[in-house]
């Protein structure tokens, strides 16, 4: 019981409080210094292990939350996984124990990523977060459709986990993950390299899903294409208009995609135009061979596995696969009564402009063919192939672009003669380029080109004579075949 004699005075209480506060501040300062020193001396991987061990005793497991970010979600690439992988490459420190290092033959620098099973610590607005790469395997049966046999195989599934305190859930979902995505987009726009995807794994690093990829270091640009300037301008304007019209496509209720048909003789630059389009837009290319696809189901899986901002290319559509009639079941009866699933015409049309075509944004579909007349008209209508681009023989303008590219000259005394021969002949840009690549003195190269063109003209005349045509008739045929140089490369907008 307190009495007047044993009640502490006010001055004594204040003195005790001051002593306690000073001691608390001293302890706090010492703890902060110890924590700072530990952070500097203890490697990050060991910090993670220590936190993990002590967390079992001092942390209530129910206070932690873990997000699982899988590489694929509902058969589509997960952009958040891609963003996480790129973002974490910026958080690599010397304390991380294992890294994955690679360099493609055409890449200028090393590609460094965090290896599977490694944990990465990150902080954001006072939050502590732990990332970890995880790989799991599942058993599956691989079916050989040629003999209908099956074999056991393993499929790897990649994902990353993000762990943090539950009280940060809203902050992580609303601010941190959008920050990761924004960092990813900035890095992609600055350092993005166009990639070429093909069906099946093309690298030995790890499982990449149905599509394997390599960097596409193709030098083709619209500046280097041997094409009429007006046609190049129209294509570039159409591409610019397409990528800027997201709201327009949504407003009119159409999938955000565009179809191009490139047709013309071999060697006229169809593949180079595709590469130029990809380099211009920074879109990846998915090279699809229909003959290697197991039926419409396989086609659906492949196309839904393509990323946004991509170009799906089906080259030589007239001969890449024997597309069946709309009502055909899609089976090819080969020898020895074997059945092989084939892509049907109706199946292909479904993925061009059906419901599945809306599973993704900013996609371009390109068909190439040497024989437009062999294609089913259903493939060519508006909404499927919106633009038909005729890639034909070299024109004088195309030759001057090639001369500038290969010889770095803008004019020469032989230009007039070369251009006259080009107007009379059907010669492809690839043939011209082959002659210009022979190297040596500029005069020698151009004289060699003149000789090549004259021999080509003589051979054409000999063929006409052998077919029974007279000289005058043969000359008329040559002029008719080359008449209207402007028509050698044209674009038809069918939408």
For range 112-116, the mean pLDDT: 77
pLDDT tier at 150, thresholds 50, 70, 90: low
Furthest CA-CA distance within the chain: 140
Q: How large is the angle between the packed helices 442-466 and 396-407, nearest 10 degrees? A: 140
For range 372-390, the mean pLDDT: 87
**pLDDT score recorded for residue 473:** 41
Helix (H, G, I), strand (E, B) or coil at 338: coil
Candidates 239, 266, 256; CA nearest to 491 is 239
Please report the DSSP string for 357-422 in residue order.
GGSSSSEEEEEEES-GGGS-GGGTSTTTS-EEEEE-S--HHHHHHHHHHHH--S--TTHHHHHHHH
Task: Write down all domains in the chain, each with its CATH number in brackets.
Answer: 61-192 (no CATH), 212-391 (3.40.50.300), 396-490 (no CATH)
Helix (H, G, I), strand (E, B) or coil at 495: coil
If you count them, how many residues does the chain have? 495
For range 299-316, the mean pLDDT: 86
pLDDT tier at 187, thresholds 50, 70, 90: confident
- 49-102 residue pLDDT tens: 565 555 544 455 578 899 999 888 776 778 899 898 889 888 887 767 788 787
- 269-294 residue pLDDT tens: 999 999 999 999 999 999 988 877 87
pLDDT above 60: residue 474: no
Candidates 311, 432, 322; CA nearest to 376 is 322
493 near 235, Cβ under 8 Å? Answer: no
The CA–CA distances, whole Å, from 210 to 47, 293, 299 equal 38, 11, 11
The Cβ of residue 80 has, within 10 Å, a number of other Cβ atoms equal to 20
Candidates 309, 307, 301, 361; CA nearest to 79 is 307
Please report the DSSP string for 223-276 in residue order.
TT--S-HHHHHHHHHHHHHHHT-HHHHHHHT--SEEEEEEESSTTSSHHHHHHH
Lowest mean pLDDT across 30-44, 340-354, 406-420, 453-467: 30-44
Give the whole-number percent of the chain exceeding pLDDT 70. Answer: 68
89 against 190, higher pLDDT: 89
**pLDDT score recorded for residue 387:** 93
For range 350-362, the mean pLDDT: 71
- Structural tokens at position 33: 């210094």
């Amino acid at each position: 019981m307190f009495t007047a004699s044993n009640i502490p005075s006010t001055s004594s209480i204040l003195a005790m409080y001051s002593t306690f506060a000073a001691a608390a501040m001293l302890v706090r300062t010492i703890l902060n210094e110890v924590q700072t020193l530990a952070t500097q001396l203890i490697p990050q991987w060991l910090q993670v292990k220590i936190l993990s061990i002590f967390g079992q005793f001092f942390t209530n497991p129910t206070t932690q939350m873990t997000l699982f970010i899988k590489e694929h979600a509902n058969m589509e690439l997960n952009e958040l996984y891609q963003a996480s992988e790129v973002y974490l490459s910026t958080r690599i420190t010397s304390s991380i124990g294992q890294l994955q290092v690679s360099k493609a033959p055409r890449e200028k620098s090393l590609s460094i990523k965090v290896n599977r099973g490694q944990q990465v610590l990150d902080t954001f607005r006072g939050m502590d977060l732990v990332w970890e790469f995880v790989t799991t395997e599942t058993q599956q049966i691989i079916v050989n459709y040629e003999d209908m046999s099956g074999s056991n195989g393993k499929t790897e599934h990649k994902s990353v986990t993000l762990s943090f305190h539950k009280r940060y859930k809203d902050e992580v979902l609303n601010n941190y993950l959008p920050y990761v995505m924004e960092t990813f987009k900035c890095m992609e726009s600055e350092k993005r390299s166009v990639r070429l995807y093909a069906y099946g794994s093309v690298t030995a690093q790890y499982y990449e899903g149905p599509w394997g990829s390599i960097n596409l270091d193709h030098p083709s640009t619209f500046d280097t294409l041997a094409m009429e300037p007006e046609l190049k301008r129209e294509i570039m304007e159409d591409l610019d208009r397409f990528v800027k019209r997201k709201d327009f496509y949504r407003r009119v209720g159409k999938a955000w995609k565009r179809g191009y048909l490139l047709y013309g003789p071999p060697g006229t630059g169809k593949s180079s135009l595709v590469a130029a389009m990809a380099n211009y837009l920074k879109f990846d290319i998915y090279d699809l061979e229909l003959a290697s696809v197991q039926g419409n189901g396989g086609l659906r899986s492949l196309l839904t596995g393509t990323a946004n901002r991509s170009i799906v290319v089906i080259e030589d559509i007239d001969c890449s696969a024997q597309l069946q009639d709309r009502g055909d079941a899609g089976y090819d009866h080969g020898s020895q009564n074997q059945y092989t699933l084939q892509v049907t015409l109706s199946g292909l049309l479904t993925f061009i402009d059906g419901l599945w075509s809306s599973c993704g944004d900013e996609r371009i579909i390109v068909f190439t063919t040497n024989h437009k007349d062999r294609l089913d008209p259903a493939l060519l209508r508006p909404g499927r192939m919106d633009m038909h681009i005729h890639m034909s023989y070299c024109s004088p303008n195309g030759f001057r672009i090639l001369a500038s590219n290969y010889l770095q000259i803008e004019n020469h005394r032989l230009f007039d003669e070369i251009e006259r021969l080009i107007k009379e002949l059907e010669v492809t840009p690839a043939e011209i380029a082959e002659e210009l690549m022979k190297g040596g003195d500029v005069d020698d190269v151009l004289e060699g080109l003149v000789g090549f063109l004259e021999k080509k003209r003589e051979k054409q005349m000999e063929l006409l004579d052998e077919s029974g045509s007279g000289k005058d008739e043969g000359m008329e045929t040559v002029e008719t075949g080359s008449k209207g140089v402007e028509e050698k490369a044209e674009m038809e907008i069918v939408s």
